[in-house]
Amino acid sequence: MKTKGLGKIILLGWTLLFFVSCQDEEFYEKDYLETYQDEYAEEVFENCLAEFNGDSSMCDGSNGSNGSTGSSGTNGSDGTNGSDGTNGSDGTNGSDGTNGSDGTNGSDGTNGGTGVVLEDKEEEFTQVEGPKKMDILWVIDNSGSMGDEQAALAYNFDAFIQDFVLKNIDFKMAITTTDTSSESKAGKPVPGSMSELTTAKYNQNPSQFMNNFADMIQVGVRGSGRERGILASEKFTQKHALSNFREDAYYIVVYVSDEEDQSPRTPEEHLAELRSWKQNEGLVKAYSIVKMSGAWESWASQGYERYEKMATETQGLTTDINEDFYTTLLQIGADIANLSDKYPLAEVPYDVNDLKVFINDVEQTSGWNYISGSNTIQFDVPPVAGSIIKVTYQVEE
Tens digit of each residue's pLDDT (9 = 90 or more) over 123-143: 998 888 778 899 999 999 999
Phi, psi of 176, deg, nearest 5: -140, 180
Residue 389, classified by CB atoms within 10 Å of its CB into exposed (0-12), middle (13-18) or buried (19+), is buried
SS3 category, 117:
strand
Query: What is the share, in percent, of the chain residues with pLDDT greater than 70?
Result: 69
The CATH number of the domain covering residues in 133-342 = 3.40.50.410
CA-closest candidate to residue 289, choices 321, 331, 336, 333: 321
Q: Is residue 7 predicted with pLDDT exceeding 90?
A: no
More confident residue, 13 or 346: 346
CA distance 284 to 270: 12
Q: Is residue 170 predicted with pLDDT exceeding 60?
A: yes
Mean pLDDT of the chain: 79
Q: Is residue 33 predicted with pLDDT exceeding 90?
A: no
List residues bridging with 117 in a β-sheet. 110
The structural domains of the chain, with segments of one domain joined by +, span 9-61, 133-342, 345-396
Q: Is residue 355 predicted with pLDDT exceeding 50?
A: yes
* pLDDT tier, 116 (very low <50, low <70, confident <90, very high otherwise): confident
Taking CB atoms within 8 Å and a gap of at least 24, the contacts of 292-298 are 292/318, 292/319, 292/320, 292/321, 292/322, 293/320, 293/322, 294/322, 296/259
- What per-residue confidence (pLDDT) applies to 91? 39
Phi, psi of 306, deg, nearest 5: -70, -45
Span 362-372, pLDDT tens digits: 999 999 999 99
Say if strands 284-290 and 250-257 run parallel, antiparallel, or are unpaired.
Answer: parallel
